[in-house]
Structure 1
Amino acid sequence: MFTGEEDKTLPATAGMEAMAPRVVLFDFDGVLFQGDSFRQFIKERYARSPLRKLLALTALPWLLLVWPISWRLAVRTLVHVSLLGVGERRYAAEAQAFAAALVRRPRQFYRDGLQALRRHQAAGDRVIVVTGCERAVVQGILDQLGLEGVEVLASECRPGLLGMRVKFHNVGRRKLERLAAHGVAAWQLAYSDSLADIPMLKSAGEAVLVNGTPKTCKRLEKVLGRSVSRVEWF
């Protein structure tokens, strides 16, 4: 387990074959971005539109009904309300505009995380961002940051009769499904800040917990049955 200045160095992975590039996975929110990027995108859509706020208010009885059963369903409802009447082309344009504005704001990203990702690229590693954020949003942000050559496996929205709808939420074990569908069978290193990524971390040659508390680290190590590296990124 690493602490202090050592936390900002790239963790070493033993037993790697020099001839094959390492596969390195990065979660996005909480690892590269400080917060929940898609939630911020949706919040800003509501902030700009009193009509969307009113529509969300009319959906309140439904939200109160489903919240005890599935908070994810309630959140999905709020996402769908925020995207009512938004087609695929407009959605892509708004995601790009959000990304362009976001990267110009101070203290939105973990500088150490971005530097670590770039070092992995410079070392010839295959870098894949595996995230629960929606694809158009996270791809727009990475493009605006100038991070070329980074593969992205993310949640997706699809066009519907009333606007864009959630197609696939890339969280937990679903990240493994996405990786398998992408032809990735093994990875040597995985960075995450969340216990929700235990499936992805468990399959990694080396798991790295980003900005995790000692308690979270102990819980993760207990589940994985081995020690993990811990880094503090700013």
Structure 2
Amino acid sequence: MTEPYPKPRDDAPLVVFDFDYTLYDGDSGSHLFASLIKGNPLRMLAALLATPILGPLVAMLPTRRTGISGYVWIATFGMHRVREFNIVIDRYVLRHEAELRARLLPQALEVFAAHRAQGDRVVVATGAPPELARAILAFVAHQDVPVIGSEVGPRLGAVAATRHCHNEEKMRMLRERGYGDIDIAYSDSTADLPLLLAARAPVVVNPKRAKVDFFRRVLPGGTRILNWGCVDRGGERAA
């Protein structure tokens, strides 16, 4: 059986894609955890009771990760192993297939597939759980692409991130796996500035409109700032 994409050479260009708001329209992890909470009355009650505390933490950038971690703990309480968490992810993805497929950005997938077709080494580096990104990419036959994401483990009767694939840590995780010499990087987020600056050719896609001028200031002149179909985001739209 013929493989749909050529196997990349070891010296092929390395192309790194973020996932949320780059290949996927939205925050895939937040969608997962919100679904787990809403699907269980006890978790929903716990989230409502905790929101007066967690809500303000999420609203403020310095404490946002702490607030989000609280909701993640509520969403995963009772899970004790990573394998158990991954099974829950796979069930969630299958149950919400139509909705998740609709969130994959066609223009982004065209670029993604074009890099693979020309033999580039393509890697996804995301703050989301890696099993979630892999399962969603499987809908469009890209499940074999390496995915580096936030690592999770048991904590206080639930599952929590033990290592966030975020900001400088994302670069460390890429380098540890041999992906340090980056030719092209695609991301929407200022949190991925270390990744974009490390790439020979950074490409900003679907940025928040308020961040477009910031990217123009800090990235090399001529850096492309594109919109791949996120209607409420900035960037130059394709004709």
Q: TM-score range by the shorter chain?
A: 0.7 to 0.9
Structure 1 residues 113-155: Cα deviation after superposition (integer angstroms, max 9, x where no partner): 1111111111000001011111221122122332043111101
The match for 2:35 is 44
Q: For residues 56 and 192 of structure 2, what CA distance do their matches in structure 1 show?
A: 29
The match for 2:114 is 119
Quick one: which amino acid aligns to residue 25 of structure 1?
Answer: V
The match for 1:101 is 95
Q: For residues 219 and 34 of structure 1, what CA distance do their matches in structure 2 show?
A: 22
Instruction: Check 1:147–1:62 CA distance in 2 against 1; reply closer, same or farther (3 A cut).
Output: same
Helix, strand or coil at the partner of 1:190 = strand
1:198-217 aligned within 5 A = 198-212=193-207, 216-217=211-212
Quick one: which amino acid aligns to residue 50 of structure 2?
Answer: A
Q: For residues 181 and 36 of structure 1, what CA distance do their matches in structure 2 show?
A: 25
The match for 2:5 is none
Aligned length: 217
Q: Please say if residues 135 and 155 of structure 1, whose CA atoms lie closer than 8 Å, have aligned partners that are also in contact.
A: yes
Quick one: which amino acid aligns to residue 148 of structure 2?
Answer: L
TM-score by length of 2: 0.82
Q: Hey, which bits of structure 1, 4+ residues long, moved more than 4 A?
A: 64-69
Give the aligned CA root-mean-square deviation in angstroms.
Answer: 2.3
Q: Please say if residues 28 and 129 of structure 1, whose CA atoms lie closer than 8 Å, have aligned partners that are also in contact.
A: yes
**By how many angstroms is 1:64 displaced?**
6.4
Say which of 192, 195, 220 aligns to 2:190.
195
Quick one: which amino acid aligns to residue 95 of structure 2?
Answer: A
**By how many angstroms is 1:199 displaced?**
0.7
Say which of 153, 163, 167 aligns to 2:158.
163
TM-score by length of 1: 0.83
Q: Structure 1: 5+ residue runs without aligned partners?
A: 1-17
Q: For residues 231 and 34 of structure 1, what CA distance do their matches in structure 2 show?
A: 14
Higher relative contact order (CA 8 A, sep 6+): 1
2:27 equivalent to 1:33: no
Q: For residues 166 and 19 of structure 1, what CA distance do their matches in structure 2 show?
A: 31
Q: Please say if residues 24 and 128 of structure 1, whose CA atoms lie closer than 8 Å, have aligned partners that are also in contact.
A: yes
What percentage of residue pairs aligned between the two structures are identical?
A: 28
Segment of structure 1 superposing worse, 29-38 or 165-174: 165-174
Helix, strand or coil at the partner of 1:133 = coil
The match for 2:144 is 149
Instruction: Check 1:215–1:168 CA distance in 2 against 1; reply closer, same or farther (3 A cut).
Output: same
Q: Structure 2: 5+ residue runs without aligned partners?
A: 1-8, 230-239
**By how many angstroms is 1:102 displaced?**
3.6
Helix, strand or coil at the partner of 2:73 = helix
